[in-house]
Amino acid sequence: MPTPRIRTFLIALALLGMTSIISARAQSNSEENSGDAAGPIEPFPTDIDEGSLFAQLLAHNALRNAALLGYTEQRTYEVKDTTGRVRAQEIGQMEYRAPDKKTFVTTSESGSGIVRRLALSPLIASEIETTSGKQHHDSAISPANYTLELLGQQDVGPYHCFLVHAVPKRPDKYLFEGKVWIDTEDYAVVRIAGHPAKKLSFWIERADFVREYQKIDGFWLSKKDETFVQVRIYGNKILTIDHQNYNVEGAGKTGESVRTLPADGPGTSATSR
**Per-residue model confidence (pLDDT) at position 192:** 97
Q: Is the pLDDT of residue 181 over 90?
A: yes
Mean pLDDT of 136-165: 94
Lowest pLDDT segment from 62-71, 129-138, 171-180: 129-138
Q: Does residue 247 carry a pLDDT above 50?
A: yes
Q: Which domains does the chain have, with CATH numbers?
A: 3-249 (2.50.20)
Per-residue pLDDT tens for 19-47? 322 222 223 333 334 445 668 999 999 99
| CA of residue 113 relative to chain centroid, distance | 26
What is the β-pairing status of strands 204-216 and 219-231? antiparallel
Residue 12 has pLDDT above 80, yes or no: no
Candidates 241, 190, 245; CA nearest to 213 is: 190
